Amino acid sequence: MAGRFFGGMGIGACSMLVPMYVAEIAPRGLRGRLGTLWQFLIVLGIMVSYWVDYGCLRHVPVGNTQWRIPLGIQIAPGGILMIGMAFLPESLRWLALRGRKDEVLKNLSKLRDLPTDHPDIIQELQEIEDAAEMDRQASSGKWTELFERENLHRLFLGIMLQIFQQWTGSNAINYYGPDIFRSIGLSSNDTEILATGVYGAVKVAFVFITFFFVDNRMGRRQTLMIGSVIQMVSFFVLGGMILSLEKDNGGVLGTNATVGAKGYVAMVCIYIFAIGYEISWGPIVWIVCSEIYPTRVRAISLSLTTAFNWAMNATLAKVVPIMMNDISYGTYFFFGAMSVVMGSFAYLFLPETRGRSLEEINE
């Protein structure tokens, strides 16, 4: 329990700090890609965990070693992160807020791989310094500032995006994938874990593809709307297939159920959902939330919105098993309906931030 507590603290802190840090050091033309890289590494880690679980299930004798190996492996990436932190430059905006202009110039030149007297460096440095000066004059970045009208609107956007990201249903599948695949009739524990591993591989593949178009092809807002449509269709078809399968099997689905083509359609729908999520609500939410806040309140705002994300995550972990048990196929209709709501929210309320500097967004 203590290990999970401290591990959770580290993961919670990283989920707030990494997107913010990436946004503050990235050039505007690469900010979306680098933010997507964060999501790519998350799903890569999830996929690796699925396959490690599958390997331990197949090749490690039943006992304490079988569960200790997946948990122990987590020490390696944590150690790499701890060592790598020593080589990271400080955030440009953080340095500027504290009047350390020489360090801003030095780090900016290093990050952009350009000489300190290059016109692009001079222009970006001036933008950062001007924004920092405005922030210093405006306020000190206290919690009370979040409730000013301008910041409250941005905070509302960030909180809703984080809530919606959880209610896409992605973590419902991440956490209960084997149970979901069992519910459509997959016949063995090995097969359930294998299908979940394939689900993880699909997520990795398509968030990697997103890396190449997030800053060039479509904006944040349009991508979220397209992803919502894909998720909606996937969940509605999935719910319909499970409803039909339950009718075919006397109202109950399990490992002995006869599934046939409908079961495979349901399984494909889960994979298509993963595609829709990983090109949109998976990476884009973190990117937008790291972009929309002024520097002076960015850390406070992101800590609060990330807290909402994890609160919804915990709620989901408790609620989904109850939903799957009590309303079965209705669980997927619910997530499909949520996709309609979140797509509408993106269309009606979300401003476009692609291709704009953090200073331009804050104007």
Residue whose C-alpha is closest to residue 183's, from 97, 86, 291, 255: 255
End-to-end CA distance of the chain: 46
One-letter amino acid for residue 255 of the chain: T
The greatest distance separating any two alpha carbons of the chain, rounded to the nearest whole angstrom, comes to: 75
CA distance 234 to 277: 11
Identify the pLDDT of residue 98.
Answer: 84
Identify the pLDDT of residue 305.
Answer: 93
CB 136 within 8 A of CB 291: no
Identify the pLDDT of residue 297.
Answer: 82
CB 286 within 8 A of CB 210: no
Identify the pLDDT of residue 25.
Answer: 85
CA distance 311 to 273: 23
Residue whose C-alpha is closest to residue 345's, from 85, 200, 158, 105: 158
CB atoms within 10 A of CB 67: 13
Residue whose C-alpha is closest to residue 334's, from 253, 246, 242, 236: 236
Residue whose C-alpha is closest to residue 45's, from 82, 13, 80: 80
**Which residues, in sequence order, are CB contacts of 165 under 8 Å at separation 6+?**
281, 282, 285, 309
Per-residue confidence in pLDDT tens, the chain, 363 aa:
777 777 777 787 887 788 888 888 888 777 878 888 888 888 888 888 888 888 888 888 888 888 888 888 888 888 898 899 888 888 888 888 888 889 989 998 988 888 988 888 898 888 888 878 777 766 555 677 778 777 888 999 999 999 999 999 998 888 888 777 777 766 656 566 777 788 888 888 988 888 887 777 778 889 999 999 999 999 999 999 888 888 877 666 655 555 678 888 988 999 999 999 999 999 999 989 888 888 778 888 888 999 999 999 999 989 998 998 888 889 999 999 999 999 999 999 988 877 676 666 665
Identify the pLDDT of residue 299.
Answer: 82
CB 317 within 8 A of CB 267: no
CA distance 361 to 354: 10
With vertex at residue 200, the alpha carbon angle to CA 195 and CA 202, rounded to the nearest 5 degrees, is 95
CA distance 57 to 128: 52
Q: List the structure tokens of 58.
A: 């197949």
CB 142 within 8 A of CB 151: no
CA distance 304 to 260: 46
CA distance 266 to 94: 48
Long-range contacts of 355-358 (CB under 8 A, 24+ apart): 355/28, 355/29, 355/215, 356/28, 357/28, 357/124, 357/127, 358/23, 358/24, 358/28, 358/93, 358/131, 358/291, 358/295
Q: Which residue intervals of the chain are DSSP H helices?
A: 2-25, 31-59, 64-73, 75-84, 92-97, 101-112, 119-138, 149-166, 170-183, 189-213, 220-248, 260-278, 283-291, 295-326, 330-349, 358-361
Identify the pLDDT of residue 253.
Answer: 63
Q: List the structure tokens of 99.
A: 């009047």
CA distance to 55, 109, 126, 136, 296, per residue, from 105 (Å): 49, 6, 10, 19, 20
